[in-house]
Structure 1
Amino acid sequence: MAEDDNKFEAWKDQNNRAWDEKKARRMVWRTRLSIIFTVLRVLFILFFGYAIYKIVISSYYDSAHKGEEFDRYVTTYIETHETGLQVEKTGVQEAILSPFLTQKTSLKLYQTVGDRDVVIGKVKATDSLMVHTIFNLDLKEDYLNQQSTYDFALPPDLSGKGQVSQKDKVSEGVWSTLNKIDDGHVAQVAFSTKQGMSPEALGKALAPYDLKLLQMPVYSGELKTIKDVPFSSGGDGTDQMYYVSHLTLRPWIVSYDSKNRLSSEYYEEDSQTMKRAAKQLITDVQWLQKNGDYDEQKADAKRLDYLKQHGVKVYGAVVTGPVRELEKLQNNKNFYQFQLGRMENWNWH
């Protein structure tokens, strides 16, 4: 009888252990499922909250026309601070706002060669809450060392520094190259002037040539009243020349409406347009000062003060037209330091 009782107890213990193991496994799975469902609920809440957050900031960004404002900011900065580059203006918003409140845009860059606008790359700009706007120029180069932007020698009568080059070996290479090009081509050329000039005076000096005036470097007190701007120098000691970061004057008028949308853009070559363009340059830089956040902002404030006090003086130009017409520029004794840009097959009015 005792032996039977022992067997019964052993059997009972075995069944209890089996039941306890099943119960434990059920509890483990219930715990796992509970954790999984909790994680899924948290992820759903986070995703839903993120979606609502993104919809709200995107709606505000679009309704406040912040994208158009950022595109205008990048366009205005490039066309007033880079020489040789123009930004495509379609009126379509390209800027986007990331969830981290970083604005980004990518706009096409082009150069006018003859009557043709040649796409040469993009400007990619990023603006965050923590740092200045970062501008990256992604330029296409068909050849090594191809000229896309230009440097201009400061005339001593404006800056009070340096000298006018008497050797001008840079220009010799340009004329040697153009001499080998046949009549069926157009090109873009940049040059410096030996003295500072008003935009109207430079426009009149170029009037006898069948060329299109595209851009002009503006002297705004660099090296004289503004010390904190990037500059470089060249020459052999007796022929010292200075090249500085500068503002750029465009002889065309670009207008935006109150919502920073492009409303008009037109080009004219006459003295009145030059005066309007000079006024617009000051207006554009003032707008950048108010709406931008970029490295040369403090220098631009000093530039504005100088321009308002002394007026707009230029010391070079970027022009385009037939190669034979460009060659005639070498006969103008006030033009030097020529630089050759892109060339294209004939396309001229």
Structure 2
Amino acid sequence: MEWNDDKAKAIVQKHKKRFSWKLSFNVVRVLLGIFLVYAVYMFTVSMIYEATNIGKRTEFYQKLAVDWTYPGYTSSIFFDGTNEINPFLTQKIEFPLIKIIGKEEFAITKISLNKPLIDAYTTTVNEYFPYSSHKEFPFSLPYNPVTNVKLDETEMPDVWNQLEHIDQGNVAQLAFSTNRYYSPEELLELVSNYQVDVLWMPVYMGELKNFTEGGWSGSENDITLAKPWGLAGFKHVDEDFNITYSTTNLNTETVKESQEIMLKNMGKMIEEDRNLAETLLGTAYLQERYDYLQKEGFQVYGAVVTGPVKQLLKLKEVEGIHNAKLGEIKPWNWIDQ
């Protein structure tokens, strides 16, 4: 058979096509194999993640951190968030931060948590606060924790003046301090004659006396803790960390249960994963706080309340209330109950 360049090129082209198709098929097969391995891996990881309740526990701890250490905010069960694990075994949990203003819940911002599955110490929490939406509420201690000397009251006349000039068709949040410690039940009684809902109460837990954490501001006669902890509405969960029922405010029917469940949850955190809990709560003294509450009980020294602005203004009449600060304002949504 006579050989020439055209025949050679035809043979080469024929084998080239076969090789190309075979290579393409092998590449697709490898990619499908990788995808299937990845799918099986992620399915297994997700199933274990769900079955062990690791993600639910971390999310629950973070929501308690919001309820206890973010005055004026809460973590509602009615707003959807995300709770997932990525291929690198890092948990990603995100949920809205809620403010109750009047009778409505408003998703003001969000909190995002990234936590490696096997390391609690590299947890990062990102808080996204829009401009002018993150209003800090300071609370003045009634007594010096070291000397037990009574501290001065802080007058804030501008707040009351603001409330006088705000249209009565609005509702708002207001924070205030008290000139002595109250039990939560006593503080509810203090404001019981006014149409307001109590959302949060700062609780003294032995700061500056039994431990020092987060610092403080003020002077010898006025002490404000940098990061107060407080009593809020409770979240009751089952063994799988599913929230079975909850409250978002403090009233005479729920305040005792709120105290009991807060202590129960603190004890559960200490027993299950103290390192994770302290990381999310931003404390190194969870045990000390728990022990103090067990021994001394709940001593509150203020509150965050919400209600019609004219009702908030009337709190000016209550003896012992001072250091008032006005929070977010919204149009009327109040329902008398």
Q: TM-score range with shorter-chain normalisation?
A: 0.7 to 0.9
Deviation at 1:247, TM superposition (A): 2.1
2:205 aligned residue (213, 217, 220): 220
- Distance in 2 (alpha carbons) for counterparts of 1:78 and 1:308: 22
Structure 1 residue 302 corresponds to structure 2 residue 288? yes
- Distance in 2 (alpha carbons) for counterparts of 1:159 and 1:85: 30
Residue 164 of structure 2 is matched in structure 1 by: 179
Q: Map 1:1-349; keep pairs closer than 5 Å.
A: 42-90=30-78, 94-128=82-116, 129-130=118-119, 131-141=121-131, 144=132, 146-156=133-143, 158=145, 160=147, 164-166=151-153, 168=155, 171-227=156-212, 229-235=213-219, 239-250=221-232, 252-266=233-247, 269-270=251-252, 273-289=254-270, 290-291=272-273, 292-295=276-279, 296-348=282-334, 349=336
Q: 1:17–1:346: structure 2 CA closer, same or farther, 3 Å change rule?
A: closer
Task: Report the count of equivalent residues.
Answer: 326
Q: 1:283–1:337: structure 2 CA closer, same or farther, 3 Å change rule?
A: same
- Distance in 1 (alpha carbons) for counterparts of 2:176 and 2:123: 30
Deviation at 1:159, TM superposition (A): 5.3
Decide whether the 8 Å contact of 2:153 with 2:323 is kept in 1: no
Deviation track 1:318-339 (CA, whole Å, cap 9, x = no partner) reads 0011111111222223111111
Match of 1:79, SS? Answer: helix
Percent identity between the aligned chains?
A: 27
- Distance in 1 (alpha carbons) for counterparts of 2:329 and 2:130: 14
Match of 2:61, SS? Answer: helix
- Distance in 2 (alpha carbons) for counterparts of 1:327 and 1:91: 31
Deviation at 1:217, TM superposition (A): 0.9
Q: Which has the larger radius of gyration?
A: 1
Match of 1:153, SS? Answer: coil
Q: In the alignment, residue 136 of structure 1 is paired with which amino acid? A: N
- Distance in 2 (alpha carbons) for counterparts of 1:159 and 1:193: 19
Q: In the alignment, residue 244 of structure 1 is paired with which amino acid? A: A
Q: In the alignment, residue 227 of structure 2 is paired with which amino acid? A: S
Point out where structure 2 has 5 or more consecutive residues left out of the alignment.
none
- Distance in 1 (alpha carbons) for counterparts of 2:146 and 2:71: 19
Q: 1:326–1:91: structure 2 CA closer, same or farther, 3 Å change rule?
A: closer
- Distance in 1 (alpha carbons) for counterparts of 2:45 and 2:319: 58
Match of 1:306, SS? Answer: helix
Deviation at 1:25, TM superposition (A): 10
Instruction: Between 179-188 and 150-159, report the one with greater CA deviation.
Output: 150-159
Deviation track 1:8-52 (CA, whole Å, cap 9, x = no partner) reads xxxxxxx89999999999999999988877666554443322221
Deviation at 1:207, TM superposition (A): 1.1
- Distance in 1 (alpha carbons) for counterparts of 2:244 and 2:20: 62
- Distance in 1 (alpha carbons) for counterparts of 2:123 and 2:293: 25
Instruction: Between 109-118 and 42-51, report the one with greater CA deviation.
Output: 42-51
Q: In the alignment, residue 110 of structure 1 is paired with which amino acid? A: I
Q: In the alignment, residue 234 of structure 1 is paired with which amino acid? A: G
Q: 1:166–1:153: structure 2 CA closer, same or farther, 3 Å change rule?
A: closer
Q: 1:214–1:27: structure 2 CA closer, same or farther, 3 Å change rule?
A: same
Match of 2:193, SS? Answer: coil
Q: In the alignment, residue 164 of structure 1 is paired with which amino acid? A: L
